[in-house]
Amino acid sequence: MKPIIAIIGRPNVGKSTLFNRLAGGGGKAIVIDEPGATRDRNYAECRWQDRSFTLIDTGGFEPASEVEILIQMREQTKLAIEEADIILFLLDSRDGLTPADQEIAALLRREQKTVFYVVNKVDGPRHEALVADFYRLGIETLYPLSAQHGPGLDDLMADLSPLLPESETTSDAEGDRIRIAVIGKPNVGKSSLINRILGYERTIANPTPGTTRDAIDTPITRNGKHYLLIDTAGIRRKSRISLTLEKYSIVQAIKAIDRADVALILVDAQEGISDQDLKIAGLAIENGTACILIVNKWDLVEKDNSTIGEFVEDIHFKAKFLDFAPILFVSALSGQRVVKIFDLVDRVYAQYNRRVETGELNRKIREIIEKNPPPGRSSKPHVFNYITQVGVKPPAFALFVGNPGGIHFSYERYLINRIRETFGFAEVPIRLFFRSKKAETATKGKPVRRKLSS
């Protein structure tokens, strides 16, 4: 699994600025010159020189404050510290070493984590002398840098990178197994579902949210097929439960999704699909993981002839990006329809791992485009040259065109929907990339293929 790096520090020391720089400058975190702008944790999947990690931006840590919002932010940061493999403790060179910094440093020593002490806002020679004050923490190595402008970041990452794995690998024991992650917010019945599938108490099932502490992997063989069940369930022990615990399920979902072929996204039938469910499902879609929506506790819902239809309609209304994912209504408690999960997993995985022969793909796409060609600009039609499948898990296609940037997103959606219908990818995410003719020639080393449409 990818290591988790958490950025912590007092408010307004530049944590979100450093987060955005490491995340690729996408500006995901809000950055303003005001303490407390970041209140919840922010997550990003990052890569530094072919080494991958999950980055967490936290709110400002005020060890002694009694202000309610700062107490909540402090709790969020403590959860991030406990989950992280590596911590970047950010200090502000212009403020010098503060009592709050010293308290945070003492907390980190007790946690016995790998910590990098980073002195931010060192924007030039006049600030470099300010770094010396932080040696009072008794730290041998400090990393001065400017998160805003970049100097010093390479030195930090040069020492941090060896702690990151070079690539994600799958063990031989897992190589031939379909990996199924059971994800969802706390207390939707993830551990109960695992136990029902296995037929014995493999994990602790308790109505209190956060009972399960870590992800639990269980290999299983069913009808001659091999699977690996990944229970990501709970986040903390009972003693560590906080009011903000539910949001922390995101980091567990990230770790499980990164390893899974198929994600079973559990939804509480009594509550309906929530914003937290949508966030977790969105992580799976962004990662390209196949998804199955499992509506659990269906036995507790009062039903009539229209109940299922209304529930499905509500899901599709709130989660339009999941309209392709199968939906199954189960009860982990009674076992109702649980046996059907593996039939769905097998069906979805077959699509997820499917390849289409290139000749057939080009013939069918040519027909699709000729039936409904995209609108061109200035009366000049788009030219489509060639399509090829470039990957599976998820199925990915590269379509070589004359003007990749001129394809409207609505036409891209049209092509994806037709690919789903035509080639049997109805229940899995699809990636479609538009590339120029030059890219094809460079890649193939041969002339551009025959045009699909004009």
Task: Enumerate the domain spans of the chain.
Answer: 4-163, 173-352, 358-444
For residue 85, give every residue at least 6 positions away whose Cβ sits within 8 Å of its Cβ, in sequence order, or none. 3, 4, 5, 113, 114, 163
Instruction: Check for a shared fold between 4-163 and 173-352.
Output: yes
Cα separation, 195 vs 83, in Å, equals: 25
Question: The domain 358-444: what is its CATH number?
Answer: 3.30.300.20
The stretch 259-277 carries a mean pLDDT of 91
In the three-class reduction of DSSP (H, G, I as helix; E, B as strand; rest coil), residue 22 is classed as helix
Structure tokens at 132: 């010396």
The stretch 242-267 carries a mean pLDDT of 71
Q: Is 176 left (phi over 0), alpha (psi -120 to 50) or beta?
A: alpha
Structure tokens at 24: 């690729």
Cα separation, 168 vs 8, in Å, equals: 26
Structure tokens at 453: 């449409």
Question: The domain 173-352: what is its CATH number?
Answer: 3.40.50.300
In the predicted structure, residue 216 carries a pLDDT above the cut 70:
no
Rank 35-39, 98-102, 289-293, 380-384 by mean pLDDT and report only the highest: 289-293
Beta carbons of 241 and 234 less than 8 angstroms apart = no
- Residue 278: Cβ-neighbour burial (10 angstroms; 0-12, 13-18, 19+): middle
pLDDT digits (tens, 9 = 90+) for 324-355: 999 999 999 999 999 999 999 999 999 999 99
Band the pLDDT of 300: cuts 50, 70, 90. very high
Helix (H) or strand (E) holding 142: strand 142-144
Which comes out higher in pLDDT, residue 207 or 394? Answer: 394
Mean pLDDT of the chain: 80
For residue 398, give every residue at least 6 positions away whose Cβ sits within 8 Å of its Cβ, in sequence order, or none. 387, 388, 390, 433, 434, 435
Cα separation, 5 vs 160, in Å, equals: 10
pLDDT digits (tens, 9 = 90+) for 64-111: 556 565 566 667 677 778 878 999 999 999 999 999 899 899 988 888
Beta carbons of 264 and 241 less than 8 angstroms apart = no
Which comes out higher in pLDDT, residue 47 or 416? Answer: 416
Rounded to 10°, the helix 358-371/409-423 angle is: 130
Assigned CATH class of 4-163: alpha beta
Selection from 142, 139, 80 nearest residue 111 by Cα: 80
Residue 408 has phi, psi (to 5 degrees) of -70, 145
Given this model, what pLDDT does residue 257 score?
84
In the predicted structure, residue 2 carries a pLDDT above the cut 50:
yes
